[in-house]
Amino acid sequence: MGAASVDPKPNPHATAEQVKAAYDDPKLANVLYHDWEAGTYDEKWSISYDERCITYATDRFRAVAGGVGPYGHALELGCGTGFFLLNLMQGGVIERGSVTDLSPGMVEVALRNAENLGLPVDGRVADAERIPYDDNTFDLVIGHAVLHHIPDVAAAMREVQRVLKPGGRFVFAGDPTDIGNFYARKLGQLTWWLTTNVTKLAPLTGWRRPQEELDESSRAAALEAVVDLHTFDPADLERTARGAGATEVRAVTEELSAALFGWPVRTFEAAVPRDKLGFGWAMFAYRTWQRLSWVDENVLAKVLPREVFYNVSVTGRKPVA
């Protein structure tokens, strides 16, 4: 458990040598990539701690786990800047939180965000495959967009079962399906190629980001390919959770047309200078995404198989002994 151990410090400026080593070491790549991103992560992914993201987080949670709660003490794995846990706390789903992440930079930002929001949260640097908490500690374990980064997902699931109290629940949301990842990546690559080439044309050069920023984004994308380890088939994910000892396991998927719209939009936003797209664009993108999500949930989900949607979430419980 190592209560006396000291968490490692963030390293937002990795050396070229460290980056080179990281190409063969997904965990080191995760630490370097996410330490480097921690300071700008909320801005990059339009993460906020207001009604918009509270609704998004609680909707994702309830879509898979139902309207149950509140949960007393929750642990988040791969918390990043705290998007999921802090917004679920603000939405009344969780009372007290512990955040963990492999990246010290992310834990630092998550704890700062919690403090700014006045929420009772503590945190540790931790690998989801070896969770540094005692057996039977938490009422709820959560994660968002983290499973696809963990080399041994089955080991992490077993750790989740260990630290949950009997009857406790886990919820992992926001990971890519096999099929969803295929079309999202293709669309993202096409959008990047089109935007960075079209903006070479004379009338559009004002829409081109400086070359050094584009080069940096390409380097980041290369490291990103090392940290993205898995995509999931919903039934396989359910099997992995059951294999770890979970009961009442259920995976649900969301976003098809919303993802087909959202990934090119996000890539376009990353490929042009920030000041070119104002509040009007942000509202257009968000409202369109919301409408398409409604179509996905209320129309497409009724007629299409769950495998074709982009996001998969999984929940289950630790059996009551």
| 145 near ligand SAM, rule: CB under 6 A | yes
Considering Cα of 244, then 246, then 247, then 249, what sign does the dihedral take? negative
- Chain residues 186-225 in contact with ligand SAM, contact rule CB under 6 A: none
Find the shortest distance in angstroms from Cβ 171 to ligand SAM.
Answer: 12
Q: What does the angle CA 305 – CA 284 – CA 300 come to, to the nearest 5 degrees?
A: 15
Distance of CA 234 to the CA centre of its chain: 17
| 140 near ligand SAM, rule: CB under 6 A | no
* Size of the residue set binding ligand SAM (CB under 6 A): 21
CA 247, CA 164: separation in Å to the nearest integer?
12
Find the shortest distance in angstroms from Cβ 241 to ligand SAM.
Answer: 17
For ligand SAM, the binding residue among 84, 172, 192, 263 (CB under 6 A) is 84
Piece in contact with ligand SAM (CB under 6 A), picked from 74-82, 234-242, 262-270, 285-293: 74-82
Strands (E), the chain: 71-76, 94-101, 121-125, 138-144, 164-176, 247-254, 311-317
- Chain residues 101-130 in contact with ligand SAM, contact rule CB under 6 A: 101-103, 106, 127-129
3-state class percentages of the chain: helix first, strand second, coil last, to nearest 5: 55, 20, 25
Nearer to ligand SAM, 75 or 208 (CB): 75
Find the shortest distance in angstroms from Cβ 304 to ligand SAM.
Answer: 25
Show Cβ contacts of residue 100 under 8 Å, excluding neighbours closer than 6 positions.
Answer: 75, 76, 77, 78, 79, 107, 123, 124, 125, 126, 128, 131, 132
Instruction: Draw the binding track, 147-166, toward ligand SAM (x: CB under 6 A; -: no contact).
Output: --xx----------------
CA 74, CA 63: separation in Å to the nearest integer?
18
For ligand SAM, the binding residue among 14, 29, 32, 34 (CB under 6 A) is 34
For ligand SAM, the binding residue among 19, 22, 77, 241 (CB under 6 A) is 77
Nearer to ligand SAM, 85 or 265 (CB): 85
Piece in contact with ligand SAM (CB under 6 A), picked from 75-83, 203-211, 287-295, 308-316: 75-83
Nearer to ligand SAM, 164 or 199 (CB): 164
Q: Is the CB of residue 88 less than 8 Å from the CB of residue 59?
A: no
Token output for 273: 């200078």
C-alpha distances out from residue 303 to 160, 300, 308, Å: 34, 5, 11
- Length in residues, the chain: 321
The residues that touch ligand SAM, with contacts defined as CB under 6 A, are 30, 34, 77-80, 83-84, 101-103, 106, 127-129, 144-146, 149-150, 174
